Structure 1
Amino acid sequence: MADQDAEQDTDAVRALRGLQDSRASVRLRAALAVGSEPDPRLIGELVGRCAVEPDFSVREMLTWALTRHPAPLTLPHLLDAVRSEHAQARSQALHTLSKIGDRRAWPAITRSLLTDADDEVARSAWRAAVVLVPEDEAPALAAVLASQLGRGGREVQLSLSRALIALGDAMLPAVHTAESDPDPRVRAHALATEQLSHDPDTGFDFAVEEAKRIVALGTTGQEE
């Protein structure tokens, strides 16, 4: 038994060193090894590494490794991370929560995260929110998400549209309200989102351009 414990300690030390290696390929293998043989002692290190890991593929492997551990053990670490002052820590913790899908994390998805000034944090919060939201709170979530319509560039707007569409009919009142917003960017994004919800095969770019055309015609008509 003592030999087995010593071997596990050696494996943990080796994994920690690998996660901190300067080479992304080594860090990737270390995260894979931890996920393949989960060790609860490494959860804190995995979450901490997510906050600073520069390589996207390694971050994805770290998230996968965390999902391999029992949710009751990972959630406390992740819920601490979503309150971090560092944007990447918040974003990656939210991303991981969306992959775990444990609805006990829902109270941590606050309005401040859903409207975070950092686009990557906000996008991660949107994805996590639609996975974790209780059914009876979906309309309220849709209202918060709709307040972000018109925000950012194509990728940000596409993420928001997908999140709203994932809420189904619960999104419609908020999106319909946004279709009358004074800001033409908001109106166009809202119209494009509704169009995509009815016809997913339309394509986001086409839906946006069509929505812009409708908004422009409407504006011209009002001016006349």
Structure 2
Amino acid sequence: MTATEADQNTLRALEGLRSESSSVRLRAAMAIGTSPDPRTVDGLVERCAVEPEFSVREVLTWALTRHPPASTVPKLVDELGSRRAQARSQALHTLSKIADRRAWPAITRELLTDADDEVARSAWRAAVVLVPDGAEPGLAAVLATQFGRGGREVQLSLSRALIALGDAIVPILCAAAADPDPRVRRHAAATERLLRDPDSGFELAVEEAKRAVALGPPGREG
């Protein structure tokens, strides 16, 4: 393939990312990932922020992981300051897949506690992948502030993120067990049960946690 042909293919792929057809956008993202070209990184990142189809977003992320981190990570980090929730969420998701720990300083408390559930969940997943050795307790402390947040899927995401941090979460769970908010206590108890028995399933852990919180600590009367 000549340089001119390669340039034309790159232009067609970038145009394809803007197509009204999701199948065309999907093929364009696959083509870019198959033959990575640094000139396509901006287009991929921009499309991630607005792409409505989950399957296309996943291929966009894959295409970005096919490029050198030096060309993708800085642009993804820039997206973390976007006002568009999807831009933040998808950038975090892609950073978790690239797994370049140089992105760690960009995973701020603001992102970990973002008001948008999808952004927060993506931040939790990215954080446990990127956290440097020794920083796990600090990350666990921030994540613990989100106990009791949201519905089942959000709570399960937080529990999984915390469990991925290993022993660093033990004191966090102990502290949360005494929280005055029963939602926090239930979520912490469910996380602790899932930590001890990963095969038990989150639903069972939640139901056991509800009973435990309702009964109170051992030896308590009334």
Partner of 1:65: 63
Percent identity (aligned)? 70
Partner of 1:165: 163
> C-alpha displacement at 1:31, in angstroms?
0.4
Counterparts of 1:72 and 1:18, CA distance in 2: 25
Partner of 1:143: 141
Counterparts of 1:34 and 1:171, CA distance in 2: 41
Counterparts of 1:64 and 1:175, CA distance in 2: 35
> Which of 28, 32, 35 in structure 2 is aligned with 1:34?
32
> C-alpha displacement at 1:95, in angstroms?
0.1
Per-residue CA shift, 1:16-59, capped at 9, x if unaligned? 11101101111001100000000100001100100000000000
Counterparts of 2:81 and 2:169, CA distance in 1: 27
Which 4+ residue blocks in structure 1 deviate beyond 6 angstroms?
none
Higher helix share: 1
What's the secondary structure of 1:135's corresponding residue?
A: coil
Counterparts of 1:167 and 1:174, CA distance in 2: 11
Count of aligned residue pairs for this structure pair: 222
Stretch deviating more after TM superposition (172-181 or 203-212): 172-181
Paired AA for residue 36 in structure 2: P
TM, length-normalised to structure 2: 0.97
Counterparts of 2:151 and 2:15, CA distance in 1: 39
Partner of 2:123: 125
> C-alpha displacement at 1:4, in angstroms?
2.3
Counterparts of 2:29 and 2:220, CA distance in 1: 58
Counterparts of 1:205 and 1:28, CA distance in 2: 35
5+ unaligned residues in a row in structure 1: which ranges?
Answer: none
> C-alpha displacement at 1:173, in angstroms?
1.0
Partner of 1:4: 2
Superposition pairs of residues 74-93 of structure 1, within 5 angstroms: 74-93=72-91
> Which of 155, 160, 179 in structure 1 is aligned with 2:177?
179
5+ unaligned residues in a row in structure 2: which ranges?
Answer: none
TM, length-normalised to structure 1: 0.96
Give me the CA root mean square deviation: 1.5
Partner of 1:14: 12
Partner of 2:151: 153
Counterparts of 2:173 and 2:34, CA distance in 1: 43
